[in-house]
Structure 1
Amino acid sequence: MDKERELRGSRDAALDGDGLRLPRIFAEGMVLQRSRRTRIWGWSHKVKSVEVTLYDGSRISARAEAKPDESGYWEVLLELREAGSGYLLEIRTDSGDVRKIENVAVGEVWLCSGQSNMELPIRRIQDRFPEEVRNCADEQLRIFKIAEHYTFEGPLEDLLSGEWKESAEENVLDFSGLTWFYGRFLREAENVPVGLINVSLGGTPIEAWMGKELFEGEADLQETIRLYASEGFIEQKQRQDEEAGRAWMRRSRETDRGLLEKWYLGEARGEEGREWRKITLPGSLSERGLQDFKGVIWLKRRFHLPEEIAGKAARLWLGTLTDSDETYINGTMVGWTGYQYPPRKYEVPEGILRSGENEVIIRLTCNDGRGRMTPDKLCGLFNERLWVELGGEWEYRIGTVLEETAPSADFVSWKPTGLYNGMLAPCRRYTVKGFVWYQGESNDKTPETYEKRLKALIWDWRRQWGQGETPFLVAQLPGFAIDLPVDSGWPALREAQRRAMELPNTATTVNLDLGEWNDLHPLNKKDVAYRLSLAARALAYGEDVVWQGPVAEVCRAEGEKVRITFSETGTELLTADGRPPEEFEAAGEDGIYFPVEAAIEGNSILLADRFSRKMKKIRYAWRNCPEKGLLCNGAGLLASPFETEVEA
């Protein structure tokens, strides 16, 4: 709030004088969209005219003039047909005030938004893509990342944070992985400068990125917006939540025998064998006899090392842990993480490992009964000379048991309109080629509203930017299962994302095979970005490329069987794993789904039920993490999950 007041104060001060003020996004290294109508705007008071010139060396590449209105606002539309870099943008008022912005590029600009999988930095996925990270240097690929900021008092007219950074070794690890890979693929395809505006934040539902007017008639959401806009409400709510969270955490530490008795020292305290019980990990604590455990559990694993490794540095990988951990090797803390999602990848410094027996001890805090060491993750200690597998038989002791679940934080940023007002709205005059959207995970409790929300968001963003039917690309949710109930909302969310293509100039890319059943944040952002870039090349740039998998066009009864005919099959209709097609289900008049057999016949699928039940509706890949016999075309692009009625 203080920053907002400072921004508004500086604006008003500038407009009281003869000051010329530009939006924060107009800064050194910026990329302007090549277009016949690229908008440049700002504010200036007590002047009659503002002249905007783009210089290519000494040559004028584009020039336009504007007159400020009564509020001091002005804008021009530049004709920028030629892509390039090294430009100088000069803004000059008739009172002699001048602003010069250097290292300006003209090329392709996309706005990338959503939640954690859009925000996830390359730092989290660099071990998957070491070669790409090493070869990251590209001064023509630039990203403008906007930091978290919410407000419920209406849209801001300017940003409070952000700067343009080029793809370089000193910047790349903090870039969004998906955004960066998307930019690389566009650079390869279009061979022009690419600018990407990343407006994302982990955990956010779609409502946080929508304007207030889109919730007309929804009294509960309007009341939420009113409450969070009221004076002092946020501060009081945060204070209460923080006090409750600190109190729970304080109890977990003050009552933890492990801390009091220094179990993390392990054998150094002569604790071997006393009260430690065997447990097989990785795995869920609830599946190991510790149902609904809340509190602190200590985990210990002994391992042996050869003499030549003693004292050497190493890396410790433990996958992901639920919820927070403090991890020790031979009595020395080597890392800690405060919540469940980041992979535990800890550096073990020199001088800690020893010849013969060593031990790793984890103090694991479990907030809500879902504690685990995530299965099917790499779990071991290694360096360039060896790998020591740590999965298998561990030991455990209970440090403390807490009756209450840890209080849930009230994330203010996730409330309706907050991020739209504070992060997105200030960008809406910036000319872009299109939008990329990767979001939906946080709406899995209310999937029935998601189609309406997503279509409204697309419509509204296009209206706000005023560029017509701007291309809008949606990354469909990948396969995921570990934290979801069997009947979760993920299949319905994917269907809502597919139906977004009912809007013109909208594409949804399918990523079922790019997920990880045990990780909400799958590592393979490169292939997700590649599929999005194919969609961009087709929709935004008019290229003749295959960008989508098979599309179900007709679903018709043939006697007791049903035939589904597909388009976009390319040379042939296939399955990704070479198995017969699976994941098909049918429902009769009662609406209860049952599995059916499927066979590929040319560009169609013929469905049959061994019990000859009447099939009225069909659905495909309608699970959290469908994997077997997934349909694809010759380009390897998957068919989207879908649900449809059977024509007679």
Structure 2
Amino acid sequence: MSSLKLCRLISDGAVLQRRKSIHIWGWDEAGMQVTIKLENDITTAMCDASGRFDAYLPARESGGPYKLVVVDDKGEKVIVENILVGLVWLCTGQSNMELPLARTKDQYPEVVASDENDRIRTFKIVEETCYTGPYEELNTGSWVSVGRDTIMNLSATGYFFGKHLQELTGQPIGLINASLGGSRIYSWMSKEMLEGYDDLLEIAGHYADSSFVEGQIKKNIENGDKWRGDLYKADKGISEKWHEDKLDISGWTDHKVPGFFKGTELDGFIGAVWFRREFDLPKELAGKQARLFMGTMVDSDIIYVNGQKVGETGYQYPPRKYDIPKGLTREKKNTIAIRLTVETGMGRFTENKELKIFNKDAAVYLDGIWKCKIGATAEEIPATDFINWKPTGLYNAMTAPCHNFPIDGVIWYQGESNVEDGYDYADFTERMVGGYRKAWKEENLPFIAVQLPNFVIDQLPRTDDWGQFRLTQNKILDMPMTGLVVTMGLGEDNDLHPVVKEPVGERLALCAAHLKYGFNGEYTGPVATSALMDNGEITVNLTHANGLTVQDAGKGLELQDFYVVDINGKRKKAKARLQDSSVVVESPFSEDKAKRLCWLSENTYHGGLITNSTGIPMSPFDLAIE
């Protein structure tokens, strides 16, 4: 067996960064000399005492495909085929970076069905943590190009970023995807970046004990399995087969679907509860292949149509989108039964989601009065220890091994899990940006973040302040060669994972093209620079104001998101209008009392959004009134 091997990132289909020295590294026997050849460029390197070698080839312009050949003194050879040279970016963050195109296929059916592009390639690193220190090498990952058999698994945000960056630059694109749903910013930071955060480093120290981690994993599995198993055994709906097509439900109670359980007979309920209703279908749907959309639910579900299971989802976030096979339904008196498991007393069928069975010819909506009955009650499910979210773990296992691989920049979509954790997110961001630049040995490595979109529902009954958090995210722009993509209007107030991802990717690409590739077009929405008060009106001066207009993002055109704060902290809504290339706000306070002007300072927006020629909204702000 050959002892010569290259790092995972340098493998078939790799995209190497243009205009930067090409770093080739790997392992062989200690003291062995290896020869590296890429086209006409040749160099040699010696393996150190640990067997590692590092070699550097001259920088290249974009191009390919190329073949890389590495040979050692014993004649062992590694050949890497189909290499491109182009633009390489790290795509990192939590669930909205990780979210695959499969979750957006109904939003972008034409993309999922037809897009193939061998000049956009991705390297997906599977979630992994290490708390003892940074890995030298990745344990997972391979390069794949965009194609019908791969596209469903690609990050939606990453893919659309790559697509639009390629349209703007004409270059091959390589995307390294290191992301994990629920992860915190400090999960993606090194021990050095977290210096001074002793409590977080202490947590990382606990999880460096492999026996402790194994115990936590075992406890997670045993607790979850026991809770769900006991509930299943106690559930009368299981033993009495409440899913069956024909069932006497005369003793069941009425329940409006969709809606929160809070304020109903199920307020605070934990356990398994069943819902049923009958529905008729037109001939265009009856017996035909169809789809069932049931929105999102808290927490897990199994759904039956006419006694046959059509789908199940194990946790609250994914939209319930199930296939109805041909021959299952009929025109009259179809039944749908749902077993909903509620783990922490916060049950719901999410409002303002389409609940329907449909095909291309017809649709029948399923919202309204359902029948419900409790199958079994339970105590709250034991808390899960999310081991992979702890400080330094993801950085050590997934990010650190990439630092030897030259890139052109970082796109970062994260923050949902840090909104109310009590830490200084701006300080974390500054440390992270500086730390990544130091690790990649590039002082001005571009770093572009995505500002959180509008969102409301999962904050209840909590009071997470996404409005304030967005203002904190704004502070990234105080650092050079950074960007921040505004996404207000692209979110879904009732969904943590909005499916409209192409504008996010496009805005990231515009920002990247501006920072790195000499793009001279508009790349951002209007930016407020000052708020000047005169004669009872506040004039907001703007840059990037060409084509200033008000956009209806589903909530009308009236400007309803300006607030003035007085010297005592009292806050009042203010009327506003566009005037040439500025905004004029009518102050509800006198000139001696008006102190600050806020725009988009709440969790969501309530009226029109101010945009420019790009359609990108003006960023949230909190300005002192002069």
Deviating more after overlay: 572-581 vs 494-503: 572-581
Q: 3-state DSSP class of the match of 2:58?
A: strand
- CA shift at 1:630, angstroms? 1.9
Conserved in 1, the CA contact under 8 Å of 2:429 and 2:476? Answer: yes
Please say if 1:368 is aligned against 2:325. Answer: no
Deviation at 1:65, TM superposition (A): 3.3
| Pairing 1:131–2:110 present | yes
Q: 1:611 to 1:141 in 2, by over 3 A?
A: closer
Question: What is the CA deviation profile of residues 589-609 of structure 1, one whole-angstrom value per residue up to 9, with x for unaligned ones?
Answer: 222322222232222223333
Does 390-399 or 602-611 show the bigger shift? Answer: 602-611
Separation in 2 of the partners of 1:591 and 1:217? 33
The residue aligned with 1:39 is 23
Give the structure 2 partner of residue 272 of structure 1.
Answer: 249
Residue matched to 2:371: 395
Q: Which amino acid aligns with 1:192?
A: Q
| Greater mean alpha carbon deviation, residues 334-343 or residues 284-293 | 284-293
- Whether the 8 Å contact between 1:85 and 1:193 is mirrored in structure 2 is no
CA distance 1:565–1:407, change in 2 (3 Å) = same
**For the structure 1 residues 308 and 171, does the alpha-carbon distance in structure 2 shift closer, same or farther, using more than 3 Å as the test?**
closer
Q: 1:305 to 1:561 in 2, by over 3 A?
A: closer
Helix, strand or coil: the match of 2:525? coil
Correspondence for 2:426: 451
Quote the residue 1:8 is aligned against.
none
Distance 1:72 1:93 in 2: 12
In structure 2, relative to structure 1, the CA distance for the partners of 1:617 and 1:248 (3 Å cut) is same
Q: CA deviation at 1:77?
A: 2.9
Q: How far is 1:182 from its partner? A: 1.2
Aligned-CA RMSD value: 2.0
**Distance in 2 separating the partners of 1:310 and 1:479:** 38
1:416 aligned to 391, 400, 408, which one? 391
Question: What CA distance in whole angstroms lies between the structure 2 residues aligned with 1:322 and 1:103?
Answer: 46
Secondary structure at the aligned position of 1:528 is classed as: helix
Amino acid at match of 1:177: A
1:346 is paired with a residue whose SS is strand
Contact 1:550–1:573 (CA<8 Å) still a contact in 2? no
Match 1:604 to one of 572, 582, 589: 582
Cα distance per residue 1:193-241 (max 9 Å; x no partner): 1111100011101111000122222221121111111241011122223
SS at match of 1:554: strand
Q: CA deviation at 1:536?
A: 0.9
Give the aligned partner of residue 233 of structure 1: 212
Any unmatched runs of 5+ in structure 2?
Answer: none
The one-letter amino acid paired with 2:90 is L
2:179 to 182, 200, 205: 200
Letter matched to residue 442 of structure 2: Q
Residues 30-80 of structure 1: CA deviation (Å, up to 9, x unaligned): 11111142322223344464332212xxxx2x3333344444433233233
The range that moved more, 349-358 or 317-326, is 349-358
CA contact (8 A) 2:285 2:359 kept: no
Does the 8 A contact of 1:325 with 1:338 survive in 2?
yes
Letter of the 1:366 counterpart:
V
The answer to whether the 8 Å contact 1:568/1:633 transfers is yes
Displacement of 1:629: 2.5
- Return the offset for 1:560: 4.3
- Alpha-carbon shift at residue 574 of structure 1 (Å): 4.1
2:284/2:362 contact within 8 Å kept:
no
Asked whether the 8 Å contact 2:255–2:372 carries over to 1, the reply is yes
Q: Is the 8 A contact 2:30 2:48 kept in 1?
A: no
Aligned residue among 104, 108, 116 for 2:87? 108
Paired residue type of 2:24: I
1:95 CA drift (Å)? 4.3
Partner secondary structure for residue 12 of structure 2: coil
Select which of 66, 70, 74 maps to 1:87: 66
Distance 1:63 1:559, change over 3 A: farther
User: Structure 1 residue 27: deviation in Å?
Assistant: 0.7
Which residue matches 1:20? 4
What amino acid is the match of 1:140? Answer: R
Structure 1 position 131, deviation (Å): 0.9
Q: Does the CA contact (< 8 Å) of 2:305 and 2:336 recur in 1?
A: yes
Give the alignment partner of residue 305 of structure 1, picking from 281, 289, 312.
Answer: 281
**What letter corresponds to residue 125 of structure 2 in structure 1?**
I
**CA distance in structure 1 between the partners assigned to 2:440 and 2:219 by the alignment:** 39
Corresponding residue number in structure 1 for 2:519: 543
2:458 is the counterpart of 1:483:
yes
**How big is the shift at 1:189?**
1.9
Distance 1:522 1:570 in 2: 29
Distance 1:183 1:381, change over 3 A: same
| Distance apart, 1:555 and its partner CA | 2.4
Relative to structure 2, which stretch is displaced further, 185-194 or 513-522?
185-194
Contact persistence 2:94–2:413 (CA under 8 A): yes
Measure the CA separation in 1 of the matches of 2:317 and 2:375: 23
Quote the Cα distance in structure 1 between the aligned partners of 2:549 and 2:242: 59
Structure 1 counterpart of 2:187, one-letter code? A
User: Which of 300, 315, 332 in structure 2 is aligned with 1:324?
Assistant: 300
Aligned to 1:466: 441
Q: Which amino acid aligns with 2:36?
A: V
Q: Is the 8 A contact 1:80 1:106 kept in 2?
A: no
Structure 1 residues 306 and 575, CA gap change in structure 2 (3 angstroms):
closer
Letter in 1 for 2:249: E
CA distance, structure 2, for counterparts of residue 180 and residue 447 of structure 1:
33
Say whether 1:588 aligns with 2:566: yes
Partner secondary structure for residue 292 of structure 1: coil
TM-score (norm 1): 0.92
More displaced 10-residue stretch of structure 1: 492-501 or 407-416: 492-501
User: Equivalent residue for 1:174?
Assistant: 153
Q: CA deviation at 1:244?
A: 2.2
Match for 1:509 among 479, 482, 485? 485
Residue aligned with 2:243, SS = helix
Cα separation, 2, equivalents of 1:437 and 1:348: 38
Where structure 1 has 5 or more consecutive residues not aligned to the other structure, the ranges are: 1-13
Residue 448 (structure 1) shift:
5.0
Distance 1:261 1:582 in 2: 53
After TM superposition, give the deviation of residue 22 of structure 1 in Å. 1.4
Code of the residue aligned with 1:535 in structure 2: it is C
What is the distance in 2 between the residues matched to 1:627 and 1:538? 31
Q: Distance in 2 between matches of 1:84 and 1:425?
A: 27
Distance 1:376 1:438, change over 3 A: same
For 1:11, the equivalent position in structure 2 comes to: none
Compared with structure 1, are the counterparts of its residues 331 and 589 closer, same or farther at alpha carbon in structure 2 (3 Å cutoff)?
A: same
CA contact (8 A) 1:308 1:355 kept: no
- Residues 372-404 of structure 1: CA distance to partner in whole angstroms, max 9, x if unpaired? 1111112111223321111112111111222x2
| Alignment partner of 1:405 out of 363, 380, 391 | 380
Is residue 151 of structure 1 aligned with residue 140 of structure 2?
no
1:576–1:636 Cα contact (<8 Å) kept: no
SS of the residue 2:67 aligns to: strand
Aligned residues between the structures: 622
